[in-house]
Structure 1
Amino acid sequence: MPTDDVRKLTEAKALAALAHPTRSRLLDILTVDGPGTASALAERTEQAVGSISHHMKVLADAGLVQEAPELARDRRERWWRITPGRVSWSRTQVAHDLASARTAVAAEKFVLATQVERASEWLEVAQNVDEWDEAAFATQGWLHLTSDELRQVNQEVLDIIDRWRHRDVPDDGRERETIFLFARGFPAQP
């Protein structure tokens, strides 16, 4: 379901839900594989169904997932999907009390650690398939920007990702892998 909506997370509760390892993995699975039941998600994550149901309720309370009742075959079956739209947050948009600020920083650190872990796993267990090894990339650069220019770079990167995420995938018989892409830009000194 492509959408241009951006959901800004402004509550510490939503950031805490996002920054939990199991919940983060569930969000990733739903993003990549599409809607699923607690049973299917439990099997995929090797967690108990009751635990997954709890995590899904927490994610739903945070507005990160929603039920998909039209997929259920009966009233007992409960399907979940990612809430449409891109998720965004900033420490400046979260309540300014100390606990909320700490939660926002912890969420950002969690996401960064997860990104670095994924990149490290790729390097450790690279498929050694020349085609994918040559296509994978890492880049960095030093720019001299104003804060407005950095926001513009951010938007351009998001636009590129959205363009590729929402394109019509050709039915050309070529192998397509699930690709994890992340980029960061922030003030720093060498």
Structure 2
Amino acid sequence: MSPTAGTPAGRDGVRTLTEAKALSALAHPLRARIMDALKVDGPSTASGLAARTGQAVGSASHHLKVLAEGGLVVEAPELAKDRRERWWRLADAGTRWSREEFAGDTAAVAAAQAAEALTLHRQIARVHAWMATAEEDPEWDSAAFATANWMRLTPDELREVADELVEVLVRWGRRPVPDDGLDREPVYVFARGFPAQP
């Protein structure tokens, strides 16, 4: 189990976070970018992450330390070429959390709300960035999609919809990349489902 409290990662490699420390670590834009870079590019050093995210190496190192204290990243010493080199990787394939799990811990609830707000802000910013450049590549422009649907569901049915969507995204995200010579770009897909009124 990772150093921070939480349920061990399930068969899907996704761990449920249950402490404010991990959630607080996630609720920071630079640390969120580091997590994204490790997810997309795989293990890296602090200098590699600094270059990828436009930070100073000292800043990347600091944020890696905070993520490690939250149990979100771990060292990967098997990748080091010498004893001075430190490599990092994600501790789990993914994380999830539910405010219901720590409703009695006000610090954890506040951290969860901050992490969710940051995630939503970053999702919206990514959509705006894509929309500003989509016309530059007509092939990607025609492949990109957005969808929204109204349904009448119970909470259990919404959970079922979420499980099915997540299963599809996880399956595509973890598939071995074919060695067929085609150029593949990182693609960001997100979906949300919640009760609302028109």
TM-score (normalizing by structure 2)? 0.90
Q: In structure 2, how many angstroms separate the alpha carbons of the residues matched to 1:136 and 1:148?
A: 30
1:73 aligns with 2:81: yes
1:113 aligns with 2:146: no
- 1:23-62 equivalence runs, <5 A: 23-62=31-70
Q: In structure 2, how many angstroms separate the alpha carbons of the residues matched to 1:8 and 1:143?
A: 27
1:98 aligns with 2:106: yes
Give, as a single letter, the amino acid of the residue that structure 2 aligns with 1:69.
P
User: In the alignment, is the contact (CA less than 8 A) between 2:17 and 2:23 conserved in 1?
Assistant: yes
Q: In structure 2, how many angstroms separate the alpha carbons of the residues matched to 1:46 and 1:70?
A: 26
TM-score (normalizing by structure 1)? 0.93
Choose from 172, 179, 186 the match for 1:178. Answer: 186
Q: In structure 2, how many angstroms separate the alpha carbons of the residues matched to 1:145 and 1:108?
A: 23
Q: In structure 1, how many angstroms separate the alpha carbons of the residues matched to 2:60 and 2:185?
A: 26
Q: In structure 2, how many angstroms separate the alpha carbons of the residues matched to 1:75 and 1:50?
A: 18
Which residue of structure 2 aligns with residue 89 of structure 1? 97
Greater shift, 36-45 or 179-188, is seen at 36-45
Give, as a single letter, the amino acid of the residue that structure 2 aligns with 1:16.
S
Unmatched tracts of structure 2, length 5 or more: 1-10
- Of structures 1 and 2, the one with the larger relative CO (CA 8 A, separation 6+) is 1
Q: In structure 2, how many angstroms separate the alpha carbons of the residues matched to 1:63 and 1:99?
A: 17
Count of residue pairs brought into register by the alignment: 188
Which residue of structure 2 aligns with residue 149 of structure 1? 157
User: In the alignment, is the contact (CA less than 8 A) between 1:14 and 1:63 conserved in 2?
Assistant: yes
Q: In structure 1, how many angstroms separate the alpha carbons of the residues matched to 2:82 and 2:123?
A: 38
Deviations along 1:1-20, one digit per CA (max 9) or x if unpaired, are: xx612200111111110110
1:164 aligns with 2:168: no
Deviations along 1:100-155, one digit per CA (max 9) or x if unpaired, are: 22221111111111111101110012253221111100100101001110000110
Which residue of structure 2 aligns with residue 123 of structure 1? 131
Give, as a single letter, the amino acid of the residue that structure 2 aligns with 1:39.
S
Choose from 33, 54, 72 the match for 1:64. Answer: 72
Which residue of structure 1 aligns with residue 19 of structure 2? 11
1:126 match: secondary structure: helix
Q: In structure 2, how many angstroms separate the alpha carbons of the residues matched to 1:90 and 1:79?
A: 30
User: In the alignment, is the contact (CA less than 8 A) between 2:38 and 2:44 conserved in 1?
Assistant: yes
Tell me by how many angstroms 1:43 deviates: 2.1
Greater shift, 61-70 or 100-109, is seen at 100-109
Percent sequence identity over matched residues? Answer: 59
1:125 match: secondary structure: helix
Runs of at least 4 residues of structure 1 off by over 6 A?
none
